Structure 1
Amino acid sequence: MSVQLSAPNENSESVQPPDPLPPPPDGGYGWVCVAACFCVNCFTWGAVSQTYGIYLAHYLSSGRFPEATPIDYALVGGLNFSTAMLVAPGVTIFARHYSVQAPMLLGTILIAIGFISASFAHRIWQLYLTQGVLIGAGVGCAYIPSTAIISQWFEKKRSLANGISSAGSGIGGIVYSFLTEAVIGRVSLAWALRITAVVSCSVLLVATLLIRTRNGDIRPSQRGFDFRLLRRRPDVWLLLAWGFLSMFGYITLLFSLPDYARSIGLSSAQAAAVSAVLNLGTAIGRPLIGLSSDHFGRIEVAGLLTCASGLACLAIWMPATSYGVLLFFAVIIGAILGVFWVVSQSSYPRTIGPICVEVAGLAELQSLLSLSWFATVLPTTFSEVIALKLRRPRSGREYLHPQIFCVVSYFAAGLCLLALWWRIRLRSRVS
C-alpha cells in the first residue's frame, strides 16, 4: 500500500508518514459479525428477493390484481433490488453521521411495514409501494451498512468470511421458498407476507445489535458517492460494467425459474422445490467461491464463474424440459449465478467487496461499493420486465428468448471482468 507524505513545511527537516492502518484481526469478534451478516442476508435478500419468484408465479397464475399485467409484477420484484441499491449512497452518509445500527434499525422497521402493508393490498399501485418500494428501501437500509464490515475484520480469510455471510441469502431462500408456497397454499397470500414480516424483523433486530465496525481504526471515507474513483483508471469502469451486465442474467434467472417450471408442466410444489434447490446451491456455493477466491484470485474466479453461468444456461437450462434436469440446473446455477455479490463485497456472496478492495483500497471500499450498487439499479429494475416481454406463450418454447438474453448477459459480463484481470496482470508485470 502506498503512503502519501504530507507536504513539508519550513520548520521541519523531515516528514513522517502517517501511521499505517492496523491489520484486520482475521477472527475474534469478526466471526460474530460474520454470523450477524449471515442473518442480515438470510432475512433480507433470502426472505425478499430470493423468493420473489414464488410470489411472481402465484401472481401470474392467480389474477389476484385484475388490472395488473405481467410487466407490473416484474417491476414490483425489480423494485425490491433497485430501490435497495438506489438508497445506498444516502444510507452510507446516514451511517457515517450516526452509526451502522441506525439505518439498519430503520430498514428493519420499513421491511416490517412493507410486508404487512402488502398483505392488505388490493390494487396494483399499492403493491408497487409496499412489496416494491417500501420493502426494497428497507432491504437497502438493513443490508448496505453491513457490506463493508466483514472486510474490516478479515484480510487473508476475507473472501471466505464474506462467502459464509452471503450464503445466508441462500439459506433464507430455501426456508422461505417452502414456507411461502406452503402458507399460500394452505392459508393465504396475506398470511405468508405477515409471517415473513414477523420472523424476518425479529432476527434482523438481534443481528443489528450484534454488529460492530472497526471504523475508528480504518477511518473509511464513507462517502455516498466519490466520482473521483471514476477518473482513477478504466479498472473501475470495467468493474461497474461487470456488475451492470451480470445483473441482467442474475435477476432473469432468479425471478423466472419458478414460472419456467410451470411453463413446462410442473406443479406449484415442484416449482417451489426448484426455487429452493437453487437457493440450496447458493448456500453451498458461495462459501466455496469465497474460499476459492482467497486461493486462486478474486477477479480470476469471479470472471470464470460469470462465464460459467452463461455456459450453464446455454447447455443445461435451454434444453431442460423435465423436473430432474431442472433440479440439476438449479443447484448448479444457484452455486455460481450470484458471484457478483460474493466477490464484490464479498453477498450482493459477496464478490464485489473483496474486488472493490483490490481495485480501490480498503479506505475507499464503501464509496466504490455505493457506485457498484448504483450501477445495478437499471438492470435490477428492468431485467424481469425484459424477460417477460421476450416470452412467447403458447409457442412451445415460451422462455427461449429470455434464456438467450440470460446467456448473452453473463458472457458479456464475464468478458468485462476478464479484461480487468488482464489489465491488472499487465500492470503487475510492469511494476
Structure 2
Amino acid sequence: MTVLQTCASDDETTEYLETPASEETLDGIGVEEQLQPDEHDGGYGWVCVVCQLMITASTWGVNGAFGVYLTHYISTNAFPGTSEIAYSFIGGLSQSQILLIAPLVTHATRVFGTKPPLVVGAVMEAGALIGASFAKQSWQLFLSQGLLFGWGCSFLYIGTIGIIPQWFARRKGIANGIAAAGSGIGGLIYSLSTEAMISNINVAWAFRITAICTAAVNIICIILIKDRNKHIQPTQNAFDLGLVRRPELLLISTWMFLSIIGYTCVLFSLPDNAVRIGLTAHQGSVLGALANLGMAIGRPIVGYFSDRVGRLNMVISATLLAGIWCLCLWTSGTSYSALLAFSILGGTTVGTCWAMVGPMLADAFGMKLLPSALSIVWTISAVPSAFAEAMALGLRRPQAPVYLDVQIFSGCMFIGAALFLVPLRFKKRIEAMVLSEKQ
C-alpha cells in the first residue's frame, strides 16, 4: 500500500511517498537512501530517546520489580487468606492494564495532545504507589498496585511509544532498542533497591520512595519530550478495523501474544524459583535484577542488528534464541551459578517483543497508521499480560523440580512466537521477487 502524505517542515511544504511493508524496510535493504525533505534520522530525536528510556524505566522497570514484591507477599503471608495465584494477579493486572487501555490513551492523545495525558499518567502512577503503601487488605493492593498503577503507566508509556519512530527514518531499530533498554535498566535498579528497602526499612516506605523517584523522573521527561505530529499528521484512531484483515497485523499480534507469555513467566518467576531451590530472597532479587540487566544490554543490540540484517531476520532469530535459552539453560538451573547465567543470557532476548514491535509495525503500515496498529496489538496483548504469571504458578510442581514445567512452557512460547513470523518473512521475499520480475 502506498500512502501519499503532505508534510510541512519549518520552512516549506513537501509531498512525498511513504511505502510501508516493503522488502527494503523489513529486510534492511536500501538503508542508504537519501532522506526525504521532511524526514529526520536523529537530531532532537536522541533527546526523545533518552526521555523514552527514562519513562520506560519508571513504568516497565518498576513493574519488572514485581517479582520482589511477590516473593515478599508469599514468604511473609503479608495479607492472610490471600492465595499465591491471587498475588500473581496483582502484577498481571497492572501489566494488562498498561496495554488494555491503549485505545483510550491514543484517543486522549488525539484530543488533548501528547503532554496532558502524560501529566495524568505521572499523577496516577505516583498516587498508586503511595496508595499501595497504605494497603491493609489485598483488595486495596489490587486497586492501587494493580489497577491504578497500570493506568498511570499506560498513559506514560503508550502516550510516548510512537514518538521515537517519528524522528528516525533509517535507525528506528537502534533508537527503539536503546529506549526499550529502560525497562531493563529500571528493572535492575528497582529490583535491587526494592529488596534492600523492604529488608532494611519496610514495604510501605519502599512504595513511597519509589513514588518520589518515578514522579521526579517523569516530570523532567514530560517537559523535554517532543512529538512531530504536526508534520506527520498520524490518524491516531483508537481502532482501525480495516487493519485487522491484514495478515501482517495478525502474524505480528500472535508473535507478540506468545512472546509476552514467555517474557512474563521468566521475569516474574525467577525470584521465587530461586527461593524454591533453597536460595535466599536476596539472591532471588539479584537474579531478577540480572535478567533486567540482560534486557538492557540485549535490546539495543537487537535493535542495532535489525537495522543491518533486516528486521524480521533479527527478530525471528532473537525470539528463537530466547526459547532455546529457556529449554536448555533454565531447565538445568538447579544452582545459583546456573540461574545467574540464564538471567544474563536469557535476559538479552526474552524482551525482544517490547523493543521491536514498534519498528516492525512502522515498517509494515507506515507512520500514519502506526498509532492505530499499536492500539490493536496492545489490546490483544493485554490478555496474556493478565494471566501469564497465574498460569506459571499453576504449572508449578509440588515437588522438585518445582519450575520445570514452567521452564518448558516458556521456551515453547518463544519458539512458537518465532515460527509465526516465518510466513511473514517468506511473504515479503516473494513480494520482492514478483516486483523485481515486473520491473
What range is the shorter-chain TM-score in?
Answer: over 0.9
RMSD: 1.5
Seen in structure 2, the aligned counterparts of structure 1 residues 26 and 235 have a Cα distance that, compared at 3 Å, is same
SS of 1:372's partner is: helix
Alignment partner, residue 12 of structure 1: none
Q: For 1:249-275, what per-residue CA distance to the aligned partner results, in whole angstroms no more than 9, with x for missing partners? A: 111111001100111111111111111
Aligned with 1:222: secondary structure?
coil
8 Å CA contact 1:54, 1:177 repeated in 2: yes
Q: Which whole-Å CA distance do the structure 2 matches of 1:121 and 1:299 have between them?
A: 45
- Show the 5 A alignment for 1:371-386: 371-386=376-391
Q: CA deviation at 1:2?
A: 2.4
Partner of 1:289: 302
For the residues of structure 1 that align with 2:39 and 2:190, how far apart are their CA atoms? 35
- Which of 156, 162, 179 matches 1:165? 179
Cross-structure match for 1:107: 121
**For residues 35 and 180 of structure 1, what CA distance do their matches in structure 2 show?**
24
User: Is the 2:294–2:346 Cα contact (8 Å) retained in structure 1?
Assistant: yes
Is 1:239 the counterpart of 2:244? The answer is: no
Displacement of 1:18 after TM fit?
5.2
Pick from 309, 314, 317: which aligns with 1:301? 314
Match runs of 1:142-157 below 5 Å: 142-157=156-171
Shift in alpha-carbon separation, 1:5–1:340, aligned structure 2, 3 A: closer
Asked if the contact 2:4–2:17 (Cα under 8 Å) also holds between the matched residues in 1, the reply is no
Indicate the residue corresponding to 1:410 in structure 2.
414
The 3-state SS of whatever aligns with 1:213 is coil
Q: Distance in 2 between matches of 1:122 and 1:168?
A: 32
Deviation of 1:375 (Å): 1.2
| 1:67 has 2:81 as partner | yes
Contact 2:171 2:307 in 1 (8 A): yes
Q: For residues 382 and 293 of structure 2, what CA distance do their matches in structure 1 show?
A: 26
Q: Tell me whether 1:57 sits opposite 2:61 in the alignment.
A: no
For 2:140, the aligned partner's letter is Q
The alignment status of 1:134 with 2:122, answered yes or no, reads no
Q: Which amino acid aligns with 1:25?
A: H
Paired residue secondary structure (1:146) = coil
Q: Structure 1: how far apart are the matches of 2:213 and 2:248?
A: 41
CA distance in 1, matches of 2:181, 2:268: 18
Once the 2 structures are TM-superposed, how far is the Cα of residue 24 of structure 1 from its aligned partner?
Answer: 2.7
Does the 8 A contact of 1:300 with 1:418 survive in 2?
no
Partner residue in 1 for 2:434: 430
Aligned to 2:335: 322
Q: Does 1:24 align with 2:29?
A: no
Gaps of 5+ in 2: 7-13, 19-36
Structure 2 CA distance, aligned partners of 1:354 and 1:265?
Answer: 42
Deviation at residue 299 of structure 1 after TM alignment: 1.4
Counterpart pick for 1:338 among 338, 351, 354:
351
1 CA distance for matches of 2:288 and 2:379? 27
CA 1:23 to 1:340, structure 2 compared with 1: closer, same or farther past 3 Å? farther
Asked whether the 8 Å contact 2:4–2:16 carries over to 1, the reply is no
Q: Which residue in the other structure is 1:388 paired with?
A: 393
The corresponding residue for 1:94 is 108
Is 1:203 matched with 2:217?
A: yes
Which residue does 1:34 correspond to in 2?
49
Percent pairwise identity:
42
Deviation at 1:3, TM superposition (A): 4.2
Correspondence list, 1:238-277, <5 A: 238-277=251-290
Matched residue, 2:239:
225
Give distance in 2, aligned partners of 1:419 and 1:261. Answer: 38
Alpha-carbon distance in 2 for matches of 1:318, 1:19: 52
2: CA distance, partners of 1:133 / 1:264: 32
Contact residue 67 and residue 124 of structure 1 kept, 8 A? no
Summarize deviations over 1:90-120 as a string: whole Å, max 9, x none.
Answer: 1001001111111111010000110011111
> How high is the TM-score relative to the length of structure 2?
0.91
> How many pairs align?
410
* Structure 1, unpaired ranges of 5+: 7-16, 343-350
- CA distance 1:301–1:3, shift in 2 (3 Å): same
Match of 2:98 in 1: 84
Task: Give the secondary structure class of the aligned counterpart of 2:159.
Answer: helix
Please report how far the alpha carbon of residue 307 of structure 1 lies from its aligned counterpart in structure 2 after TM superposition: 1.1
